[in-house]
Amino acid sequence: MGMAAEPQFHVLAVDDSIIDRKLIERLLKTSSYQVTTVDSGSKALEFLGWQEVEEEPPSVSPDNLQEVEVNLIITDYCMPGMTGYDLLKKVKESSSLRNIPVVIMSSENVPSRITRCLEEGAEEFFLKPVRLSDVNRLKPHMLKAKYGLQQQDMIEVEDILIPEVKPVCQQQQQEQQSQLQQEQEPELNPEEPLHNKQHEQQQQQQQLHQQQNNNSKRKSMEDGLSQDRTRPRYNGLTTVASN
C-alpha cells in the first residue's frame, strides 16, 4: 500500500514591488507550495472572485469562483490604492473568504500597525525581507484552516442527521461501565463470617483448656510442697526398745 501524498497548498502572494514578489514566490515554491502572484489588493480580490453587493455582506460570486482553492494569502502592508490592511478587512468581512488565513508583510516595524493587523484577524506579521524560516511558519495555519473546517462540518452534519444516536451510545456506555464494575467487585461468601466465628470459638476453647491444665499442674505442685512442710521431724530423738 503506497503512502498518501500530502496535499499541495495554494498561496496567493500580493505585493506591488516586483522584487519582493519574486522573492516571496521563490521562497514559497522552495517549500513546495503552488503560488499565484498579483501586484495589488484589488487584483487579489478579483482573483478570489470577491464582490460587494449593496445591503448584503461581501461574498464570492459563483461565476467568479476559482477552480484552484486558495489556502493562504500573504500580502504587503504598504501598497497604493488598497493597503494590505484594507485587503485583510475585506477578506475577513466576506462570509466565503473569512476562513482563509492572511499573513501581512512590511519593511517597517511599527508596533501599532502590527497590533491592529493581528486584532483584525491576521495570522502572522512578517518583517521584510521575508526569510525561509518565516515561510516555514505558514503550513500550520493552512492545515488548521483546511482540516479544522472539515471536522467542524462533520460535527454539524452529525448533529443534524443523527440526533438520537448520541443518547443511545451514552446509555450503552453507562450499561457497559455498570457491568464492568459488577465484575470487578469481589463476591461475598455468606458462610465465611460463620466459619470465622466458629474458628475463633475453637481457639478460645483451646486456650481455656490449656489454662485449666496449667492451673491443675500448679495446684498439684503446691499440694506436694505443703505435705513436705507439715510432716513431723524426729531429728535428735532416740528410740529405745523395751525387752
pLDDT, tens digit, for every residue of 77-123? 999 999 999 999 999 999 999 999 999 999 999 999 999 999 999 99
Query: Which pairing describes strands 10-14 and 124-127: parallel, antiparallel, or unpaired?
Result: unpaired
Helix (H), strand (E) at residue 30 = helix 18-30
What SS3 class is residue 229?
helix
Q: Of 1.25.40.10, 3.40.190.10, 3.40.50.2300, 3.20.20.70, which CATH number belongs to 10-161?
A: 3.40.50.2300
pTM of the model: 0.58
Q: Which of 14, 37, 194, 201 is nearest to 90 (CA)?
A: 14
Q: What is the pLDDT of residues 35-83, one digit of tens each?
A: 999 999 999 999 999 876 544 555 554 454 445 699 999 999 999 999 9
